[in-house]
Structure 1
Amino acid sequence: MTEKTENKELVQEDVQVENESTETEAQAVVEEQVELTIEEQYEAKLAELQAKLDDEENRHLRLRADFDNIRRRQQVEREAAEKYRAQNLLTDLLPVLDNFERALQIEPTSDEAASIVKGIEMVYRSLIEATEKEGLQVIKAEGEQFDPNVHQAVMQEQDSEKETGVVVRELQKGYILKDRVLRPTMVSVNE
């Protein structure tokens, strides 16, 4: 072989070695970029999944809080329903109590009428005891300071012996069931 051929071969080998090293370096750079891209993809996917997990945890906590609020509200409603279970019945019985009181105001004129009044009085007392067991109470009015929460003023009177705003007369009894006014007391108030 001639020297020219040998040099040519050596140059080709150098070029080939140089090309191989350049290809290897290029391949290493590509692989490194692919690895970075894969890592970035994993990190992005991880961040996305973490965000979804956080959203679901927040949603779960809100739902749990809503559920607790609903449960508490239902408990309060059940307690109120139990506490005031007799309200409708007692409201319907108020006119009956009024009629008994009117009947008891009549003065008997004979022994027979006195015996009927006595029987009415016994029934009335039984009815009052039963309603008191359920929590029904009469609202005190006469001589009390007027309270618009429990009294209904239907007229005014002039009484110099009493202070202004004091209930002078009770015109119709009012009743409270536990802490709820069933019917306000109709009153006449001093000017």
Structure 2
Amino acid sequence: MRSSKEMQDEMNGQGVTDPEVVLGSDVEPVNEVSSAQAELEQLKGERDQLLDRLVRLQAEFDNARKREIKERADSRDYTVSNTVEPFLGVMDNFQLALKADGTAEQLRAGVELILKQMEDALKGLNVQPVETVGTQFDPRIHEALGSIETKEFPDHQVLEEIRRGYKIREKLLRPALVRIAANADQVAD
């Protein structure tokens, strides 16, 4: 019989290596696979956490968007109600005027009072009429509907207000429709 040394030499001659070395090389890939699996599990856990966080952030964003829409609608309703409230009394007085059986003078006096009430309501909202008659024409706040030939007034002075213009603070809501003076003597100068 052959000795184990002879058998080992024969195996070495045929390209077979030491059995311990063969077993050791098989163990290393097993360690690499288990570490890769551990890393994969860790990455899956991180992914799940990030997906959960993303879902929560999307829900928070959606809730914030819905809350903002509701708050905007509430704010608009509040603004409209505060704006309309002063005009309800004006409407009531118009209805009373329509039911009244008075003379034309009494009706005119009542309409003037209602107009005063309307002007007060607008002042409460910081709405002011644009200055017109007697001022110099300003295309930023006036719209000229025509001119009147005259020698008594300076050229481009507002002579007549056809429709009142309004502004809120410094912002123009609508320009005033006016007729202006056309003084040929001053144009030539």
* TM class, shorter-length: 0.5 to 0.7
- Counterparts of 1:63 and 1:122, CA distance in 2: 57
| Change over 3 Å in CA distance of 1:68–1:132 after alignment to 2 | same
Match of 2:39 in 1: 40
Selected match of 1:124 from 105, 111, 132? 111
- Contact 2:165–2:177 at 8 Å: present in 1 too? no
Q: Distance in 2 between matches of 1:188 and 1:10?
A: 128
2:143 is aligned to 152
The runs of 5 or more residues in structure 2 that have no matched partner are 12-17, 95-101, 183-189
Determine the C-alpha separation between the residues in 2 that align with 1:48 and 1:66: 27
Identity percentage of aligned residues: 16
Distance 2:79 2:133 in 1: 31
Asked if the contact 1:138/1:175 (under 8 Å) is kept, the reply is yes
How far apart, in 1, do the equivalents of 2:167 and 2:85 lie? 9
1:141 corresponds to: 132
Whole-angstrom distance in 2 between the partners of 1:138 and 1:48:
65
Q: Does residue 177 of structure 2 align to residue 186 of structure 1? A: yes
Counterpart Cα distance in 2 of 1:133 and 1:145: 26
Secondary structure, aligned partner of 1:145: coil
Measured at CA, do residues 75 and 158 of structure 1 come closer, stay the same or move farther in structure 2, by a change above 3 Å? farther
User: Equivalents in 2 of 1:122, 1:49: separation in Å?
Assistant: 78
Distance 2:60 2:150 in 1: 65
Question: What is the TM-score when the length of structure 2 is the normalising length?
Answer: 0.55
Confirm or deny: 8 A CA contact 1:167 1:188 kept in the other structure. yes
2-structure distance, mates of 1:156, 1:47: 79
What letter is aligned with 2:110?
V
Q: Which residue of 1 aligns with 2:164?
A: 174
The match for 2:28 is 29
How far has the Cα of 1:43 moved from its partner? 4.0
| Per-residue Cα deviation, 1:144-167 (whole angstroms, up to 9, x for no partner) | 233446533211123445444321
Q: How far apart in 2 are the matches of 1:72 and 1:165?
A: 49
Kindly provide the amino acid, as one letter, of the partner of residue 155 in structure 1: G
Tell me what 1:111 maps to. Answer: none
RMSD across aligned positions (CA): 4.4
Q: Normalising by structure 1, what TM-score?
A: 0.55
> What's the offset of the Cα at 1:83?
4.8
Superposition deviation, residue 116 in structure 1 = 3.1
